Structure 1
Amino acid sequence: MALLLGFLLLLLELCGNTLSLGSRSSTEGTEVLELQLPATNYETKDSYKAGPIGGLFQIVHIFLRVVQPNDFPEDILRKILQKKFDLSTDYEKIIYYEIGVIICAVLGLLFVILMPLVGCCFGLCRCCNKCGGEMHQRQKKNGPFLRKCFAVSLLVISIFISIGIIYGFVANHHLRAQIEKTRKLADSNFRDLRTLLNGAPAEISYILSQYTTTKEKAFSDLDNVKSLLGGGIHEQLRPKVIPALDDIKAMAEAIKETKEALLNVNNTLKELKKSSAQLNTSLSDVKRDLEQSLNDPMCSAPPVATTCNNIRTSLSQLDDNTNMDQLPSLDKPIDKINDILQTNLSSLVQQGYKSFNDIPEMVENQTTDIISDVKSTLNSIGSDIESIGEQIPIQDQLSNFMGYINDTETYIRRNLPTLEEYDSYSGAGVSFLICWILMTIVVLTFVVGANVEKLLCEPYQNRKLFQVLDTPYLLNENWKHYLSGMVFNKPDINLTFEQVYSDCKENKGIYGTLKLENSYNISEHLNIQEHAGNISNDFQNMKVNIDNIVLLDEAGRKNLMDFSFSGIDAINYNIYLAELSKAPTKGNLLSFADDLEVKANHLPHGSLKQSLKNNAQTIRTIHRSEVIPLEQSMSSVYQSIKELQQKSSGLGMKVTNTLSSLDSAQDFLTTRISSVIVEESQKYGNTIVGYFERYLQWVKISITEKIAACKPVATALDSAVDVFLCSYIIDPMNLFWFGIGKATVFLLPALIFAVKLAKHYRRMDSEDVYEEFPPS
């Protein structure tokens, strides 16, 4: 119990010295972004396994539960502690709780008392030739059977005695082996405690230093106000403004494309008219030549006359099928487009783009003073944090506790050899003491070991011991909660040993474990409004004036309206399409030429036949050199006019929609830009302030949950009570008395059977002899 209280006081000492640590770090700041505290590694294991011998320990525990089946006496222990260990008033309850241990101890003491007495009586009895001392052997018929029974019984009992002695030797060896590990265990725990104490100031310094990272990130965003704030405003307006400008830009391109299309169609039409006139001339010449050839005298005599008449009636196929001259010229629409193009609409649109894209730069120019003020505020906060770190001497605060650890370690190192020396005496002599002295040792170790196991080890493992220590007004009649009275001198704060141990076991920070907010409320000192309120005010009062953004001036608007009234959509495109869809000639010249040549081949040789064949060849040449190019040109112009018709279709509505979109975008800029600026300014300011909010939140979490994580304290307490006292000492001690006690108890029947068995092997002065005679 004294060892347990000593380690609890060690925890209290750590609490007192880390109180200032928590207050110090709480006024500093926490990191921002993805910052983490460096991991701290401890070498002491937080669990202990006894190994194969653990099964034997469990057997002893089961035996103790049979001997001592009662629950942990929390109420009795509380009353004993409250009455300063005065046992007079509750002795009946204590006896009831200890009845199993008392009975076993009484039986042991009876064995201690009666064993030498019975042995003395037995010796005196034998000296009087009684109790088997008579040197005369009486033979019995069942003698061989009794001898075998006594021998087997003695063997079985000897085996049980040997097992008990083996338990004792195993316990003794395990105790020695574990005592040898005690130095390493103690050194490991002290190194972990030093790591805890030395690491706390370093962690605080690390947290303070990370303010620079936060500030640098904030400065980076402040320097990029053009892209972050200005760009944010620009992106908010972009979906409404850019489509309108894109429509105007597309309309400007459409005007240029329309002019080019009109020029191309107009020029091509002129070429078509010339080509059509040339084709008409060529066909007229061929037709005239054929008419002259058909005036040949041979055409008057049958059957040639019939052929000539057929040719004469088909000459209409050589007539021109088009009338290109009737197609009106496109010069007037082209002149109107040229007038419209006197105003450079594309340049006006680019000015609108530029005016809109200059918003980020305008924001940057107008926020220069505010950005400078915010940077000054951030620098002043950094100076405050640095001064806080310089004003709190953490190392001085922890030096006393470090000295306490050094003193404790020195004490353990000085006294550990003595413990090891005592252990060597147990191994050398205990196993060879006589049985009744062994039983004395068994009784003493049983009483001590059983009570320590049931009153300290088990309640420590299930934490009922902490619940007893947490009883209000138990350790100090004036304090409701002893631990809070020690730490804060405020015993009404609900701070318990069980909660502190559990939190340390989970490696939580000292600040949250000891509820140091009752002494120094870190949340109040890490209030963002206290440290960075001016930053929020600066951004809330930010005024950005973005006026006079004109997407398209009146000249551009007039230009669009002039284009809509240019008459392009009023051109009668159907006339052009109807004329251009015709074939250049009324008949197919190749078919006509082939038919003419076939007919000529049926005529008799002469000038008529040759003239007709020459004209057929001429017609083929006209088709190849004039008709085919004309057809291709007509088809190309047909497609161009078709496309021009589609582009000009609904031109007025397109221009109206474009101007409507422009007016909507311009109105949006006029009415909404101020609210967009406010919204984006708040978002930008919240981003900057958010860095510090997350930084201070990280500081709060680190100080309350991570800095000076007290797992080494819980581990040290476990090492002292659960490992060293209970596992290293009490478990082997209990196994020792269990084994030696069992061997000693079985020694009594062993002596009885040994005496009985010896009777059958002793050399007697006389004996009864019975001879068996065969039946007559």
Structure 2
Amino acid sequence: MTRTVEWRLVPLLFFSVIVFSGSFVAGQNINDNGTLTFDALPEGDAYNIDSGDIELGGFTLKTTWNIIDGFLKLISPAGPPYDVIIDVISGTIDIDIQSLFSKVQGNITGFVVLFFLGLLFAIIFFLFLIFFCCCRLLCDNCGGKMEQTNSSNFEKLRCVYTGILLLMLFCLIFGAVTALAVSGYTSSQVSDLPDTINNNIDDMLTYVNNTVEEINFLIDKQLPWTVKQVSNDLNDVGDLVGVPVREGLRPTVGAAIAAVYPLANNLSATLSAMEDVNSTQFDLEYLYVDLDTNLSSILTRLDTQCVTCNCCSGFAYSGLSMNMDPRDTQLSPSVSGTFPQEALDASIMALRDVVDLDLSSAADNGSEIFENIPTVLADTTSELADELTKVLSKVSGTISSSVEPVESKISALNTQAEEVQDFLTPILVDVVAYDGFRDIAMTVVFGFILFLAGLFVVGVCLAISGCILNKSPPSKRSSLESCGGCVIMIAAVLSGLLVPPFMLVSSFTFITGGPIDRLVCDNVISREIFVETIDKPDAIIDGYFLGDLLFQNSSIDITVTGLLNACENNKGIYTAFKLENLIDIAQFTNIGQYVGDLDSQFDNITVDFSNVNILTGDTRSSLEEFQNSSNYEISWDVFLAELSKPVTYDVNQGNDLSVLAGTMRTAAATINNTGDKAAIEGFAEELDVIQTNLMAPFIDTKNTLESQIDVLPDYTGKIDMLITDTLDAADLAQAYLDADATSLLQANIMGFKTRILGYPYQFADYIESQIQNEVGKCLPVYNLYSSAVNTVCVGFIQAFNGFWYCLGLCCITMIFTFAFGVKSAKYYRRMDRDSGFDEREYGLPLTNADLFEGENQVAPQQDD
């Protein structure tokens, strides 16, 4: 019972090896956006045995094996007695000899009959030899007298006997040479036996080690890599969830934030432009007062001078007064200025209030919050990431700890195999050494047979040569011919003496090896013996024998044939041995038991979008109030018309006092009074100064103011549209945040959850696939079985049968060589007397004695 349990542990160790597999990483693992692609298992160490087939030898040996196989099937046509085998296995064998024989007679009758025929023939032939020797030695050479009588068939009989003898010699040589080839084949198998057994044991150790390597490869590489993918994604939740959520919001929320900047920039630019206009107008008004004062002064003094000297007829100076008035309309009731200072002040104040809202900063703040959604989400899920990582690490630890005892058992199995190898090594060395004696014995035996065949051949050659060279009557045969006949006779006698012992040896080896080959090996190789016995349900026990033996459950339909077929097709050991009945890999691939309620925890991941504000309530109210007030809309037409007038009423377009100064100098040149002349020239000089210092700056400032006012409509004309766009975008974004942002977030979280939890499930699917199909591919197990069967049945049993076949063939042939050797020898040996031979036929002269002897001699009966 103990041995049975230990034997059962061997496949169980292999079963356990399969269960604790993980996922593979190496350098070829790929994470394609959540879809894991795992690398293949490591190839492991190479096996010594690529196939369990065995070399059958050359044509002669293959022919011999086929002949033996056909012969055994001929004498034992029935299949193995499976009923008896089943009874033996189940322990219900019937001891009744008659009943037992009736079941096996179709299998062993031929073997028994031939065995006893062989024994009987050996005994009878032995007695015949005794009788033959006694007749020749003790009975005056009875049956072997040296006399020969001529007949019409004399030469024909000699040719026939010699021809048959030569044919038998060919068969004898063929049998001996084949036997020596079988002996050499057996020697090669025996010499290879240590390597074969060691290779088989080494391959089994390699198979176990490779399987362990695959397990370690899966556990130490794949599982950590898979856990790392989960950890990486959890740490990268901002990019995997936050970024898609943010980009999903960008078309609305991002557009709303972006819409604030053009409005803010436009308002700031408008305010700046209006302040520039206000500042420029102030400068222009200051220059206006100075210019007006200086012109008024000159005009007054010119009036006085011209009345006194009456010398101003050469020029007109009445236009030296201000034609345009760019001053503020509200400076005083007496001022006729056209500048809309009140409206401008109101616009600047309103714009300043809006600009002071700092829309850009608010947009920057909103943009920062919006862009930081991935970071906020990562911070929110940090605890969940830590918890998931701990759970998966726990799974890894559980599987790894489960593998350790399996690996220790496998290591123990390796140790036991190495102990068996150490135990067998000296035995195999002795087997190889003692096989040399077998080889020597067979070489001696069949070498002697070849020696006998050689004697026969030498004798026949001498006899035929002597007959051809010197054809003479039997009593006068040449020494060469007679020597050949004697050699044939000696070889024939030796052949006859070897037949009984060789027949006994052949019979006993036949009854030993023949049934094993026919009833065991043939059916083990074809696997029929398994199909008809332990694989057949309800044959030995109720259900399947192997299922009960391995799993203590006879309902499991596991069979030896199924195992061998699966391993021959290189299936994984878990599938081949139906290990799901021993260890359910679902306990390791059921990720749900490890993940627990983490699935639901993803539903609690939220992001507060309420702080993503595009416009506050106050800002919105201010913008709407500003838009409705239209304070930024100023009518500049009157003022621009005023600016387009000439500065003065001077006839020279009122803008260039140097023309009038030149005219005055021309007029002064005609004045004789030196004092008046100098006064007019002084006025001209003063006008040039006013032109340079006051008029030119005034005109430049006026032109600048005009250009500044011309730009304002480009800003103010967009304000209403920009405010409307900003408010509409803000409303749309806020509506989207309120209605769809949460669902967008949840959809991405669900996708992320599917991705995260998909890793363990992909890992589980990979484990299951690897366990069932890849881990521990058991072709080496099949090769081990095939090698063992072929080594025993082909390498030894078949070779053993080749021995009795060749020896039996030689025995049967030697019976004929003995008979026809004795017959042939008399046709070549020199006789003491002969009769009926005409010497003239042989070219010899007749003598009187011969004639007399021939007439009076009573011819003896011819000995056949």
Deviation at 1:386, TM superposition (A): 5.4
1:536·1:686 contact (CA, 8 Å) conserved in 2? no
Q: Which residue in the other structure is 2:702 paired with? A: none
Deviation at 1:688, TM superposition (A): 1.9
Question: Is 1:193 paired with 2:196?
Answer: no
Question: Is 1:466 paired with 2:530?
Answer: yes
Letter in 2 for 1:469: I
Of 480-489 and 739-748, more deviation after overlay is shown by 480-489
1:539·1:682 contact (CA, 8 Å) conserved in 2? yes
Deviation at 1:457, TM superposition (A): 2.0
CA–CA distance in structure 2, aligned partners of residues 747 and 408 of structure 1: 47
* Secondary structure at the counterpart of residue 186 of structure 2: helix
CA–CA distance in structure 1, aligned partners of residues 4 and 504 of structure 2: 35
Deviation at 1:551, TM superposition (A): 6.8
Question: Is 1:121 paired with 2:184?
Answer: no
Residues 736 and 380 from structure 1, CA distance in 2 versus in 1: closer, same or farther, beyond 3 angstroms? Answer: closer
Q: Which residue in the other structure is 1:621 paired with? A: none
Deviation at 1:182, TM superposition (A): 0.6
2:178·2:806 contact (CA, 8 Å) conserved in 1? yes
Q: Residues 159-198 of structure 1: matches in 2 within 5 Å?
A: 159-198=170-209
- Deviations for 1:709-731, whole angstroms, at most 9, x for unmatched residues? 555444333332x2321121012
Aligned counterpart for 2:828 among listed residues 735, 738, 761: 761
Aligned counterpart for 1:96 among listed residues 96, 100, 106: 106
Deviation at 1:222, TM superposition (A): 1.5
* Secondary structure at the counterpart of residue 736 of structure 1: helix
CA–CA distance in structure 1, aligned partners of residues 595 and 212 of structure 2: 26
2:57·2:185 contact (CA, 8 Å) conserved in 1? no
Letter in 2 for 1:437: P
Q: Which residue in the other structure is 1:136 paired with? A: 147
Deviation at 1:68, TM superposition (A): 3.4
- Deviations for 1:72-130, whole angstroms, at most 9, x for unmatched residues? 44344323444347464231231123344344434433432332233333334445467
Residues 85 and 248 from structure 1, CA distance in 2 versus in 1: closer, same or farther, beyond 3 angstroms? Answer: farther
Q: Which residue in the other structure is 1:359 paired with? A: 373
* Secondary structure at the counterpart of residue 827 of structure 2: coil
Q: Which residue in the other structure is 1:263 paired with? A: none
Q: Which residue in the other structure is 1:734 paired with? A: 801
Letter in 2 for 1:686: T
Letter in 2 for 1:176: S
CA–CA distance in structure 2, aligned partners of residues 8 and 507 of structure 1: 27
* Secondary structure at the counterpart of residue 137 of structure 1: strand
Letter in 2 for 1:737: W
* Secondary structure at the counterpart of residue 609 of structure 2: coil
Deviation at 1:171, TM superposition (A): 0.5
Q: Which residue in the other structure is 1:683 paired with? A: 751
Question: Is 1:693 paired with 2:761?
Answer: yes
TM normalised by structure 1 equals: 0.65
Q: Which residue in the other structure is 2:560 paired with? A: 497
Gaps in structure 2 of 5+ consecutive residues? 26-35, 269-343, 446-497, 631-719, 844-864
- Deviations for 1:666-714, whole angstroms, at most 9, x for unmatched residues? 6555433222222211221222222222334444445555555555444
Residues 534 and 755 from structure 1, CA distance in 2 versus in 1: closer, same or farther, beyond 3 angstroms? Answer: same
Q: Residues 267-346 of structure 1: matches in 2 within 5 Å?
A: none
Aligned counterpart for 2:230 among listed residues 218, 239, 254: 218
Deviation at 1:169, TM superposition (A): 0.7
Q: Which residue in the other structure is 1:394 paired with? A: 406
CA–CA distance in structure 2, aligned partners of residues 238 and 135 of structure 1: 130
CA–CA distance in structure 1, aligned partners of residues 374 and 258 of structure 2: 20
Letter in 2 for 1:462: S
Question: Is 1:371 paired with 2:385?
Answer: yes
* Secondary structure at the counterpart of residue 543 of structure 1: coil
Deviation at 1:656, TM superposition (A): 11
Query: Size of the alignment, in residue pairs?
Result: 609
Q: Which residue in the other structure is 2:11 paired with? A: 15
CA–CA distance in structure 2, aligned partners of residues 542 and 654 of structure 1: 37
Q: Which residue in the other structure is 2:678 paired with? A: none
1:370·1:542 contact (CA, 8 Å) conserved in 2? no
Aligned counterpart for 1:65 among listed residues 54, 70, 73: 73
CA–CA distance in structure 2, aligned partners of residues 239 and 459 of structure 1: 79
CA–CA distance in structure 2, aligned partners of residues 403 and 364 of structure 1: 53
Letter in 1 for 2:157: L
Q: Which residue in the other structure is 2:85 paired with? A: 77
Residues 416 and 374 from structure 1, CA distance in 2 versus in 1: closer, same or farther, beyond 3 angstroms? Answer: closer
Question: Is 1:43 paired with 2:48?
Answer: yes
Of 425-434 and 213-222, more deviation after overlay is shown by 425-434
Output the aligned Cα RMSD. Answer: 5.0
Letter in 2 for 1:405: A
Of 217-226 and 38-47, more deviation after overlay is shown by 38-47
Deviation at 1:139, TM superposition (A): 1.4
1:528·1:696 contact (CA, 8 Å) conserved in 2? yes
- Deviations for 1:371-394, whole angstroms, at most 9, x for unmatched residues? 3433344444455555555xx533
Residues 537 and 384 from structure 1, CA distance in 2 versus in 1: closer, same or farther, beyond 3 angstroms? Answer: farther
CA–CA distance in structure 1, aligned partners of residues 266 and 823 of structure 2: 131
Residues 36 and 772 from structure 1, CA distance in 2 versus in 1: closer, same or farther, beyond 3 angstroms? Answer: closer
TM normalised by structure 2 equals: 0.59
Aligned counterpart for 1:452 among listed residues 496, 513, 516: 516
1:230·1:361 contact (CA, 8 Å) conserved in 2? yes
Letter in 1 for 2:68: V
CA–CA distance in structure 1, aligned partners of residues 814 and 256 of structure 2: 110
CA–CA distance in structure 2, aligned partners of residues 501 and 393 of structure 1: 28
Residues 60 and 660 from structure 1, CA distance in 2 versus in 1: closer, same or farther, beyond 3 angstroms? Answer: farther
Residues 506 and 347 from structure 1, CA distance in 2 versus in 1: closer, same or farther, beyond 3 angstroms? Answer: same
CA–CA distance in structure 1, aligned partners of residues 41 and 528 of structure 2: 35
1:247·1:658 contact (CA, 8 Å) conserved in 2? yes
Q: Which residue in the other structure is 1:589 paired with? A: none
Residues 382 and 764 from structure 1, CA distance in 2 versus in 1: closer, same or farther, beyond 3 angstroms? Answer: closer
- Deviations for 1:612-642, whole angstroms, at most 9, x for unmatched residues? xxxxxxxxxxxxxxxxxxxxxxxxxxxxxxx
Question: Is 1:743 paired with 2:810?
Answer: yes
Letter in 1 for 2:435: D
Q: Which residue in the other structure is 2:667 paired with? A: none
CA–CA distance in structure 1, aligned partners of residues 401 and 428 of structure 2: 46
1:161·1:742 contact (CA, 8 Å) conserved in 2? yes
- Deviations for 1:246-298, whole angstroms, at most 9, x for unmatched residues? 99999999999xxxxxxxxxxxxxxxxxxxxxxxxxxxxxxxxxxxxxxxxxx
CA–CA distance in structure 1, aligned partners of residues 766 and 43 of structure 2: 15
Deviation at 1:655, TM superposition (A): 13
Aligned counterpart for 2:740 among listed residues 672, 690, 699: 672
Aligned counterpart for 1:715 among listed residues 783, 788, 813: 783
CA–CA distance in structure 1, aligned partners of residues 813 and 513 of structure 2: 21
Residues 674 and 222 from structure 1, CA distance in 2 versus in 1: closer, same or farther, beyond 3 angstroms? Answer: same
Deviation at 1:345, TM superposition (A): 10
Q: Which residue in the other structure is 1:152 paired with? A: 163
CA–CA distance in structure 2, aligned partners of residues 773 and 376 of structure 1: 117
1:200·1:707 contact (CA, 8 Å) conserved in 2? yes
Residues 372 and 471 from structure 1, CA distance in 2 versus in 1: closer, same or farther, beyond 3 angstroms? Answer: closer
CA–CA distance in structure 1, aligned partners of residues 500 and 417 of structure 2: 45
Residues 724 and 773 from structure 1, CA distance in 2 versus in 1: closer, same or farther, beyond 3 angstroms? Answer: closer
1:377·1:534 contact (CA, 8 Å) conserved in 2? no
Aligned counterpart for 2:606 among listed residues 543, 551, 560: 543
* Secondary structure at the counterpart of residue 530 of structure 1: helix
* Secondary structure at the counterpart of residue 99 of structure 2: coil
Letter in 2 for 1:499: G
2:562·2:576 contact (CA, 8 Å) conserved in 1? yes
Letter in 1 for 2:518: K
Gaps in structure 1 of 5+ consecutive residues? 257-334, 566-651
